[in-house]
Chain A
């Protein structure tokens, strides 16, 4: 109350009589930005909030830690290439280190997605956005673009570091070109990761306004679907004979569709069209797909479309004020 009374007593133009800091009301007549530029500003603002920039130091702990973790294999590889280049790189560009990528991205998506969407839900800030010159769809679109870019940075900056580490040690333009040819598919596959995880993560996070609940809403389904998919794959392989005998069983082949991480692994196997003989080395991280490669491709596209569609639909029915 005292603050109100105080504020009310502050000099207004009527009573100022030459108060220097009273500048009166100034109009804004210069150029205004259009809808596309506003959406771009919102995207940039949201991208920063995914890494806790513009918030306290506490908010930066997890993103920085996870990013460092993601870069670690690239650094180790660079050291190895520098000391004993024989035998080539330790890590491939396409799946990098799948177990590390899965765990790091699971935590990153669970921690960062709520930063982008749930605080606006919790604080009822959405009416302030929708009362501005943007359309309904622009808000989820900007958030999605921002989180896609954030996930992309988490996944692909390590890939670029890996590439730099390798390219610095190989000899000849041809060798560097070969590295570049391998990097390309790796970047594309990384984008598939970022797109699927960003859309699913935001959709799950936007179901609740409470931050802790949102972290659980994202983390728990992602984690348990991954565990379940791996368990079923394992059971499938045990019960119906190992994959090495011939084709893996249907259970083992289709279990990977349950979790986004194994789905992405399956898509990679399908695109590589290789791993059938001898089954994958890292049985728990990689997905067995059997003859169902196309199914993985289709499910990936459908899952991505569904997550984006549901996210947009979720903001279509948000009330204003």
Chain B
């Protein structure tokens, strides 16, 4: 990410960096005077599966619309696959598949009909559209059901149809907006596995937008976190997760005692909500905590690896979160 924050002098066209599938340079979008959807966002995304995390309203969907060339930024630049989003929208949309966040399927059509039609809309000739519609529906795991009306589908099947229509035009890049929206835990797992498979085995780069970091980190190589339209972090997933591996320990009583005891034993616990957060150094950390709790005779009610939440990435004040973010930005 060595893109300069200053705009090039006028007359000299902006050139996207080679190699990046998505690039934004000082990208800003304002609605009116007060609402800022994106604020000086500068990031370069490499091929592979990238997670785009941020709370609702952080600017994820806005970024996707700009990347598709459907919204023009107030200032700054964006490029997809080396093509300028403002001037090459048609070309970008030929090479990009988009899965919207919300429900967008007509209930009175069969999945085959819909995906074939949308394949034609992606520029496929009639025969190719039929073949590729059957292929992509099979890839997302819809077989005989694909002749049924979409109105009779479960939420999970509808999400699969949305993914299939993004895939039908043989995109070089997929933009998935909250692909696990509305799914139950089993459905989420299945959808994530499917996305991971498309990324690794089909070799299609993708950006997956989600407000659930714990979910997205399972399938991504890279992570981009935005908040309030600003870039918070852009890093490989391993550095993000390594830095935030913590244990949450809760005891029914004697929390202060345990805090002191753990500190005495060389850990650096931090009080968090009703429990303690302890940096996880390795398996021996579990043993230290177990021994400390046993020696003090405290009723241990909970000990778990924390699911990373986006708020953790965003927190800057508590000592632990501050440390981990500082540490990872060095790495």
Which of B4-12, B16-24, B117-125, B265-273 has 4 or more CB atoms under 8 Å from chain A? B117-125
A272: chain B residues at CB < 8 Å are: none
Interface string of B164-205 (1 = CB under 8 A from A): 010001100000010000011011011101100100011100
How many residues of A are counted as interface, with CB atoms below 8 angstroms from the partner's CB atoms?
46
Among B32-40, B100-108, B214-222, B322-330, the stretch that binds chain A is B100-108
Interface contact B202-A33, CB-CB below 8 Å: no
B156 engages A321 (CB within 8 Å):
no
**Are B121 and A134 neighbours in the complex by a CB distance under 8 Å?**
yes
B154 within 8 A of A: yes
Interchain nearest-CB distance for A111 vs B (Å):
16
7 A-B residue contacts at CB 8 Å?
A1-B154, A4-B190, A23-B135, A30-B125, A32-B123, A124-B100, A321-B100
Residue of B98, B120, B170, B191 touching A38 (CB-CB under 8 A): B120
Q: Is B86 positioned at the interface, with any CB of A under 8 Å from its CB? A: no
Chain A positions within 8 Å of B102 at CB level: 124, 321
Interface of A is mostly: loop
Interface string of B145-169 (1 = CB under 8 A from A): 1000000001011001000010001
Please state if A7 and B160 are interface contacts (CB–CB under 8 Å). yes
Among A12, A26, A31, A33, the one with the most B-chain Cβ atoms within 10 Å of its Cβ is A33
User: Apart from A24-B201, A45-B117, what 6 extra A-B contacts exist at CB < 8 Å?
Assistant: A7-B157, A8-B190, A12-B201, A128-B100, A131-B96, A134-B90
A314: interface (CB < 8 Å): no
The B273-294 residues at the A interface (CB cut-off 8 A) are none
Any A CB within 8 A of the CB of B93: yes
A4-B154, A132-B122, A321-B177 are known contacts. Are A127 and B100 too (CB-CB below 8 A)? yes
| A4 with B104, Cβ < 8 A, contacts A128-B165, A321-B65 known | no
- Residues of B whose CB lies within 8 Å of any CB of A are 61, 64-65, 68, 70-71, 90-91, 93-94, 96, 98, 100-108, 113, 117-118, 120-126, 128, 132, 135, 138-143, 145, 154, 156-157, 160, 165, 169-170, 177, 183-184, 186-187, 189-191, 193-194, 197, 201-203
CA–CA, A279 to B130, complex, Å? 59
Complex formed: what's the CA distance from A33 to B140 in Å?
25
A34 within 8 A of B: yes
Q: Do the beta carbons of A1 and B132 come within 8 Å of each other? A: no
Residues in chain A near residue B170, CB distance under 8 A: 27-28
On whether the beta carbons of B154 and A3 are closer than 8 Å, the reply is: yes
Q: Does A14 contact B (CB under 8 A)?
A: yes
Known: A1-B187, A26-B135, A38-B123. A135 touches B104 (CB 8 A): no
Q: Which residue of A lies closest to B132 (CB)?
A: A28
B123 engages A133 (CB within 8 Å):
yes
A14 to B200 alpha-carbon distance, docked (Å): 11
* Contact, CB under 8 Å: B124 / A33: yes
